[in-house]
């Protein structure tokens, strides 16, 4: 694991966000391993790059057609030289909820297992996406955890 490995994973994350913002399901799925597992914020799974593409194509055309995704606060932990756990906090605007109504700004966390393949490139093998609570709910949870209620 070198700084170039860390940079390659960061570039993979940037590619993922760019594909999302272009609403390009094929480019989005290209960031995943051929046999990757993806679970969305509703707990719905997709198995394999092709399924990930098919899963995202209709939502990029509907509820996320105007969405903008930004990634921040990424954390990368190398478990081995060719395996990394990756967390990326995200924020989204411009989405529509499942009923077609504008969805307020959303925040969440994408957790990945990334591996370096035989050719040296990195891909996401496992992805779990989750919504995070609104800012006020997060502050309440932090106070509770810290015992300051």
Q: What is the pLDDT of residue 36?
A: 98
End-to-end CA, the chain:
42
Mean pLDDT of 69-89: 96
Comparing C-alpha atoms, which of 7, 148, 145 is closest to residue 76? 7
Give tens-digit pLDDT for 105-139.
999 999 999 999 988 899 999 999 999 987 665 55
Residue 97 clears pLDDT 60, i.e. is over it: yes
Rg (C-alpha) for the chain, rounded Å, is: 16
Spatial separation of the C-alpha atoms in residues 4 and 114, rounded to whole Å: 14
- Which domains does the chain possess? 3-145 (3.10.450.50)
21 phi/psi in degrees, rounded to 5: -70, -20
């Amino acid at each position: 694991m070198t700084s170039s490995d860390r940079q390659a994973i960061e570039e993979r994350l940037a590619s993922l966000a760019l594909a999302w913002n272009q609403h390009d399901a094929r480019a989005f799925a290209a960031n995943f391993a051929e046999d990757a597992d993806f679970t969305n914020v509703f707990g719905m799974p997709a198995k394999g790059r092709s399924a990930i593409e098919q899963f995202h194509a209709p939502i990029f055309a509907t509820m996320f057609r105007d969405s903008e995704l930004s990634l921040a606060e990424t954390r990368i932990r190398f478990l081995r030289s060719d395996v990394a756990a990756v967390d990326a906090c995200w924020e989204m605007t411009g989405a529509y909820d499942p009923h077609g109504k504008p969805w307020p700004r959303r925040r969440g966390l994408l957790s990945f297992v990334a591996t370096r393949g035989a050719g040296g490139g990195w891909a996401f093998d496992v992805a779990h996406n989750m919504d995070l609570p609104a800012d006020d709910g997060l502050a309440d949870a932090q106070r509770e955890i810290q015992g300051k209620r």
